[in-house]
Amino acid sequence: MKEIQEFQTPPFKLRRIRNDYEHFEEKLDDWATNSKTNIYIDLNIVSPGINFFPGAEDNVFRQLEGYNLTFWNNSVNLQEVIQWVSETSSLINENSNEV
């Protein structure tokens, strides 16, 4: 019987992004009560290295910059996530064929 390989660890920052989405309402409540401007910036797609909102980073909810998804000041490289998902999927398929 073939030994089953272990799954690769997901990208470190993926957990932070996931937690931000899972606790969105809490974070939104906190932002609404503590924001100095109550201006929010959401669903941005920008070129890498360009900061359209200097000094307003706390008001940027979601932004896609190249392959980086930023949500509540946490970022994750989507290419790393796709690579991890692909490797995990292949491993699941290989192991399910062994059973």
Q: Is 34 part of a structural domain of the chain?
A: yes
Q: What is the pLDDT of residue 4?
A: 59
Q: Residue 4 corresponds to which tokens in the numbers above?
A: 């089953």
Of the pLDDT bands very low, low, confident and very high (cuts 50, 70, 90), residue 95 is confident
Q: What is the pLDDT of residue 3?
A: 61
Q: How far is CA 77 from CA 27, 63, 71, 92, in A?
A: 22, 12, 12, 23
Q: Is 86 part of a structural domain of the chain?
A: yes
Specify the number of domains making up the chain. Answer: 1
Residues 48-86 pLDDT 10s: 666 666 667 677 788 888 899 988 888 899 999 999 999
User: What are the φ/ψ torsions at residue 55 (nearest 5 degrees)?
Assistant: 85, -5
Q: In terms of pLDDT, which residue wins out, 19 or 40?
A: 19
Whether the predicted pLDDT of 2 surpasses 70: no
Q: Is 66 part of a structural domain of the chain?
A: yes
Q: Is 16 part of a structural domain of the chain?
A: yes
**Domain enclosing residue 82, as ranges:** 12-98
Q: Residue 11 corresponds to which tokens in the numbers above?
A: 């990208």
Kindly report the pTM of this predicted structure. 0.71
Q: In terms of pLDDT, which residue wins out, 84 or 97?
A: 84
